[in-house]
């Protein structure tokens, strides 16, 4: 007798253990958006140990009370049909929670009820605030419960879901268009809200929401909700970037001009930037990011400052966008800074190139090239214009009195003088002395004696000439101007107190320093005066 009871106990234990291995999974509860009826469809996975799938539904008090779930269907577990559709009159009317359980061939339930899932009910309304073309969408979260217990009512909610929003005009055959996504929704949220951007006037739209899990491939849909927009008058706001000026190596100022309105044309003005560092001619190859914003302040002139620029690296593309709240946002042209760069091509010859891009290409600016000496800007070449590739090449000879480190600058005549970065090209200092001179020479450069200096400083400069008896016959504390032979500054013409000095050898002594450097130098030698 005891053996019989033992065998029966082992059989029951084995039967329970076998049943415990069967765990059905209700994969999705989704509205069928491909049909006009929009039935709610349940999808599950195939299990060969299950003969039939029992479907339960609940309309109220569905989380904690098992008895509120009633059997609504018994579906054969068919490998080719792993779903069941609940024919509902209006899938956008109310939430319904579903769960399933597996039954064997004898009609016994051999798995517990799955964790419940609900349909998403999407609602849409128009006339948000004062904007008749901004629609308000709301829907309940798609609940995905795990570790659900009918006995204790305990619920653990799986990872946070994202929601994709699609829309289309209510015209037969019109495809769905992705509108936006709502992410990182708190699982405790009961209603999710979203406001659409400005839409077309007086137009019927349809919307649908899709729940997207980060760990599951199933993406259930809500019902399709529809709404008709109102009529919003859109007066475009003129927005133009008129000036982009480099302030220093890390700062660029951007001047934005708007319409001069007596009322409030927009709520906020945004500055966007793409730091491509290269020349591009189409906005679709740019990736703009918002870097600053200003509220409308009853003026038509706004000055932004980009303090995270690298002006020596290349072009920075800027665009301004006026946020109109109810209306379509209006965008400005795209304008870059003037980017100047160059190199030394010969010992005393510099090659410079600069570029600026405006999209659309409507500019007809002229540019001026300057040499920067201390705080002074000396015009070298004016009236430069852009070529078809929107860049300019200029070859220049450095002015030898400016300094060994020669600095260049570009300005445009765009109405506010956009300023480029300052580009520096280094040159080596140099000093040379002729060994003879002839005051009556046919060549003007041979008529006087002077040191040939590249980039001399006027600080601590002294040039003295002595005759054969050691008498000082010439003194200068200012260096000669390189290439200006008509200028007597720093040049000895072979006279002393207004009279010609006799031919012969004369000694000289010089002390000097170079621009951009603090080191002092000295030199001595002799020169022959020819008569």
Per-residue 3-state assignment (H helix, E strand, C coil) for 76-124: ECECCECEEEECCCCCCCCCCEEEEEEECCCCCECCCCCCCEECCCEEE
Tokens, residue 381: 């070449």
Question: For residues 507 and 527, what is the distance between their CA atoms, to the nearest angstrom?
Answer: 6
Quick one: pLDDT at residue 66?
72
User: Per DSSP, which regions of 7-49 are E strands?
Assistant: 26-31, 40-44
Quick one: pLDDT at residue 518?
66
Question: For residues 258 and 242, what is the distance between their CA atoms, to the nearest angstrom?
Answer: 10
Quick one: pLDDT at residue 3?
46
Task: Report phi then psi at 144, rounded to 5.
Answer: -120, 95
Residues 6+ away with beta carbon under 8 Å from 71: 54, 55, 56
C-alpha closest to that of 165 among 177, 153, 173, 151: 177
Return contacts of 379-385, CB within 8 angstroms, 24+ apart.
380/408
Domains defined along the chain, listed by start: 19-228 (2.60.40.10), 239-335 (2.60.40.10), 339-426 (2.60.40.10), 430-529 (2.60.40)
Kindly provide the b/e burial profile for residues 369-383, where b requires at least 16 CB atoms within 10 angstroms of the residue's own CB. bbbbeeeeeeebeee
Residues 6+ away with beta carbon under 8 Å from 431: 451, 452, 453, 454, 456, 510, 512, 521, 523
Residue 523: helix, strand or coil by DSSP? strand
Residue 163: helix, strand or coil by DSSP? strand
Global pTM reads 0.54
Asked whether the beta carbons of 291 and 336 are under 8 A apart, the reply is no
Asked whether the beta carbons of 82 and 70 are under 8 A apart, the reply is no
Helix (H) or strand (E) holding 12: helix 2-20
Residue 66: helix, strand or coil by DSSP? helix
Residue 35: helix, strand or coil by DSSP? coil
Quick one: pLDDT at residue 134?
85
End-to-end CA distance of the chain: 149
Tokens, residue 273: 């930037």
Task: Report phi then psi at 338, rounded to 5.
Answer: -85, 120
pLDDT in tens, 357-398: 998 876 678 999 999 987 889 999 999 998 666 789 999 988
Question: For residues 515 and 521, what is the distance between their CA atoms, to the nearest angstrom?
Answer: 12
Asked whether the beta carbons of 50 and 104 are under 8 A apart, the reply is yes
Question: For residues 116 and 143, what is the distance between their CA atoms, to the nearest angstrom?
Answer: 8
Question: For residues 215 and 159, what is the distance between their CA atoms, to the nearest angstrom?
Answer: 8
pLDDT beneath 50, residues of the chain: 1-21, 151
């Amino acid at each position: 007798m005891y053996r019989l009871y033992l065998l029966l106990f082992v059989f029951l234990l084995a039967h329970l253990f076998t049943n415990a291995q069967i765990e059905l999974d209700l994969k999705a509860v989704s509205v069928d958006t491909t049909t006009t009826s929009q039935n709610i469809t349940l999808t599950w996975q195939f299990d060969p140990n299950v003969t039939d799938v029992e479907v339960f539904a609940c309309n109220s008090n569905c989380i904690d009370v098992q008895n509120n779930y009633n059997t609504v269907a018994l579906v054969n577990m068919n490998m080719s049909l792993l779903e069941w559709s609940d024919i509902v009159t209006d899938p956008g009317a109310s939430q319904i929670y579903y769960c399933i359980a597996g039954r064997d061939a004898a009609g016994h339930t051999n798995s517990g009820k799955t964790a419940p899932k609900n349909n998403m009910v999407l609602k849409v309304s128009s006339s948000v605030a004062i904007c008749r073309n901004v629609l308000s969408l709301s829907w309940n979260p798609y609940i995905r419960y795990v570790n659900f217990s009918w006995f204790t009512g305990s619920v653990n909610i799986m990872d946070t879901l994202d929601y994709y929003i699609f829309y289309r005009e209510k015209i037969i055959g019109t495809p769905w268009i992705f509108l936006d996504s709502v992410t990182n929704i708190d699982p405790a949220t009961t209603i999710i809200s979203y406001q659409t951007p400005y839409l077309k006037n007086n137009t019927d739209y349809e919307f649908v929401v899709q729940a997207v899990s980060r760990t599951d491939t199933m993406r259930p849909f809500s019902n399709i909700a529809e709404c008709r927009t109102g009529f919003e008058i859109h007066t475009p706001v003129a927005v133009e970037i008129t000036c982009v000026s480099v302030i220093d190596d890390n700062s660029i100022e951007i001047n934005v001009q708007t319409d001069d309105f007596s009322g409030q044309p927009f709520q906020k003005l945004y500055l966007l930037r793409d730091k491509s560092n290269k020349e591009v001619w189409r906005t679709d190859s740019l990736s703009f990011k918002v870097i600053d914003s200003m509220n409308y302040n009853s003026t038509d002139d706004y000055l932004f400052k980009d303090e995270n620029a690298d002006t020596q690296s290349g072009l920075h593309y800027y665009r301004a966008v006026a946020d109109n709240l109810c209306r379509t946002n209006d965008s400005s042209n795209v304008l870059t800074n003037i980017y100047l760069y160059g190199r030394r091509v010969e010992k005393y010859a510099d090659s410079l190139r600069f570029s600026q891009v405006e999209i659309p290409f409507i500019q007809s600016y002229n540019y001026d090239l300057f040499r920067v000496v201390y705080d002074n800007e000396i015009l070298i070449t004016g009236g430069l214009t852009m070529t078809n590739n929107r860049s300019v090449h200029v070859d220049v000879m450095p002015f030898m009195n400016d300094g060994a480190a020669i600095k260049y600058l570009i300005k445009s005549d765009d109405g506010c003088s956009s300023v480029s970065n300052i580009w520096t090209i280094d040159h080596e200092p140099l000093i040379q002395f002729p060994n003879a001179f002839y005051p009556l020479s046919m060549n003007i450069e041979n008529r006087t004696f002077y040191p040939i200096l590249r980039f001399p400083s006027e600080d601590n400069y002294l040039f003295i000439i002595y005759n054969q008896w050691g008498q000082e016959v010439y003194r200068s504390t200012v260096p000669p101007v390189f290439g200006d032979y008509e200028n007597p500054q720093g040049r000895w013409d072979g006279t002393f107190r207004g009279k010609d000095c006799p031919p012969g050898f004369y000694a000289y002594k010089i002390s000097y320093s170079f621009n951009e450097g603090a080191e002092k130098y000295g030199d001595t030698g002799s020169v022959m005066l020819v008569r």
